[in-house]
């Protein structure tokens, strides 16, 4: 067992032909090179017989193409990102691409290093939910003609393809819904960031309030992997703001934590406080009462992202206009935001 791995030369030698010929045949250029059908057949047969597989490293070194996509998400263990990752992975593999992935944890420095690693490994394209402060690195990537597709958020000063949702309207719409149900003291609890998606959510929320002459109240949380770190700030916030009658959560992470706090404080939903959150999840459907959520079109997001990237990867002509795709969310109204008044 474990015989030395065969190389293209071995194949060529066994058939007493040159490795060039084998290479042409294996790369589907037999026609073009007018290699006899008979020879093609023999080569293919032997290849199958001995289970020869070209060494992809050598191939990559030579061609400069690695058939690898670098996928950088905020956190692979977040349900939103892992769902997207799974769908992207599927399509990528089906198209002959492998995925190298990593989580950025919104850490700029870490992301810079990761980009370097990816670059170093000659990934053919990048998919990322970028943290702030890496505009330069991305620009440098683009200058090297690397395709980069962003999702969930984008960098306003960098011209790339991206796929996002209509964050501002989604937040606006959700807030209007709460207002329509008679709530007047609506807080927004969200992790703090200048990233576009967050900025837009805050904007939409404030706009709805303004239109109704209500006062915004935003509680910004730090970005943290550990929900435990959020318990304390959320608890003290809820304890100090007794007049809040509704909350909009900016992400599922924030909401899950917020719900736990409300549970432990004995706050009744929606009687004491109504709840709406970004991102849907089984947990919200199972919750009593069920939680109203702003559901992102996960499949559509993943689909658009990978389609755009595969397209760019296909064409030599990479001088197409970049695409900015904005998808729509669905406000799923459930018990947590029904008026109790």
DSSP bridge pairs for 189: 219, 249
Residue 14 touches DNA, criterion: CB under 7 A: no
CB nearer a copy of itself, residue 17 or residue 333: 333
Stretch that binds a copy of itself, among 116-124, 148-156, 229-237, 326-334 (CB under 8 A): 116-124
What is the closest distance, in whole angstroms, from the C-beta atom of residue 210 to a copy of itself in the complex?
32
In 3D space, the residue among 128, 129, 105 whose CA is nearest the CA of residue 118 turns out to be 128
- For residue 75, the partner it binds in DNA, a copy of itself, none, with Cβ less than 5 to 8 A by kind, is a copy of itself
Q: Give the Cα separation of 133 and 220 in Å (integer).
A: 20
CB nearer a copy of itself, residue 114 or residue 247: 114
Residue 17 touches DNA, criterion: CB under 7 A: yes
Question: What is each CA distance from 74 to 37, 45, 122, in whole angstroms?
Answer: 51, 46, 22
Residue 188 · residue 202 · CB < 8 Å: yes
What is the closest distance, in whole angstroms, from the C-beta atom of residue 36 to a copy of itself in the complex?
29
Please give the backbone phi and psi of residue 335, each rounded to the nearest 5 degrees, phi first: -60, -25
Residue 50 touches a copy of itself, criterion: CB under 8 A: no
Stretch 127-156: interaction string toward a copy of itself, x if CB under 8 A:
-------------x--xxx-----------
Residue 282 touches a copy of itself, criterion: CB under 8 A: yes
Stretch 230-269: interaction string toward a copy of itself, x if CB under 8 A:
--------------------------x--xx--x------
Stretch that binds DNA, among 1-9, 134-142, 182-190, 329-337 (CB under 7 A): 1-9
Residue 251 · residue 276 · CB < 8 Å: no
Interface of this chain with a copy of itself, residues 173 to 212, rule: CB under 8 A: none
Stretch 47-86: interaction string toward DNA, x if CB under 7 A:
-------xx--xx-xxx-----------------------
Interface of this chain with DNA, residues 244 to 283, rule: CB under 7 A: none
Residue 23 touches DNA, criterion: CB under 7 A: yes
Structure-token pair, residue 151:
């999702």
DSSP state of 6: P
In 3D space, the residue among 191, 121, 115 whose CA is nearest the CA of residue 153 turns out to be 191
Q: From the list 22, 30, 102, 305, which residue makes contact with a copy of itself (rule: CB under 8 A)?
A: 102
What is the closest distance, in whole angstroms, from the C-beta atom of residue 184 to a copy of itself in the complex?
26
Residue 43 touches DNA, criterion: CB under 7 A: no
Could you count the other beta carbons within 10 Å of the beta carbon of residue 16?
Answer: 6
- List interacting residues with a copy of itself (CB under 8 A): 1-2, 53-58, 60-61, 66, 68, 75-77, 79, 82-83, 85-86, 89-90, 93, 98-103, 114, 116-117, 119-122, 140, 143-145, 227, 256, 259-260, 263, 281-283, 285-288
- List interacting residues with DNA (CB under 7 A): 5, 7-9, 16-21, 23-24, 26-27, 33-36, 39, 54-55, 58-59, 61-63
């Amino acid at each position: 067992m474990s015989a030395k791995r065969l190389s293209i030369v071995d194949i060529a030698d066994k058939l007493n032909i040159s490795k060039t010929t084998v290479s042409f045949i294996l790369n589907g250029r037999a026609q073009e090179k007018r290699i006899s059908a008979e020879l093609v057949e023999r080569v293919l047969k032997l290849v199958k017989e001995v289970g020869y597989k070209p060494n992809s490293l050598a191939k990559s070194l030579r061609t400069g193409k690695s058939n690898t996509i670098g996928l950088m998400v905020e956190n692979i263990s977040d349900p939103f990102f892992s769902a997207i990752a799974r769908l992207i992975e599927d399509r990528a593999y089906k198209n002959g691409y492998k995925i190298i992935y990593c989580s950025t944890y919104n850490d700029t420095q870490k992301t810079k290093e990761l980009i370097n690693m990816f670059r170093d490994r000659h990934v053919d394209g990048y998919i990322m939910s970028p943290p702030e402060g890496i505009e330069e690195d991305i620009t440098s990537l683009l200058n090297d003609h690397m395709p980069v597709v962003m999702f969930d958020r984008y960098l306003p000063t960098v011209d790339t393809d991206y796929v996002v949702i209509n964050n501002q309207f989604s937040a606006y719409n959700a807030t209007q819904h709460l207002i329509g149900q008679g709530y007047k003291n609506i807080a927004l609890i969200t992790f703090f960031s200048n990233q576009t998606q967050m900025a837009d959510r805050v904007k939409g929320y404030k706009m709805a309030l303004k239109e109704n002459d209500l006062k915004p109240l935003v509680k910004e949380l730090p970005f943290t992997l550990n929900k435990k770190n959020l318990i304390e700030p959320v608890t003290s916030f809820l304890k100090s703001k007794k007049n809040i009658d509704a909350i909009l959560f900016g992400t599922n992470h924030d909401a899950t934590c917020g719900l736990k706090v409300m549970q432990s404080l004995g706050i009744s939903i929606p009687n004491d406080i109504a709840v709406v959150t970004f991102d849907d999840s089984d947990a919200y459907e199972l919750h009593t009462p069920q939680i109203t959520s702003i559901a992102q079109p996960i499949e559509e997001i993943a689909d658009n992202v990978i389609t755009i990237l595969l397209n760019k990867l296909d064409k030599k002509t990479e001088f197409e206009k970049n695409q900015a795709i904005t998808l729509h969310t669905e406000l799923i109204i459930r018990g947590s935001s029904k008026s109790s008044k």
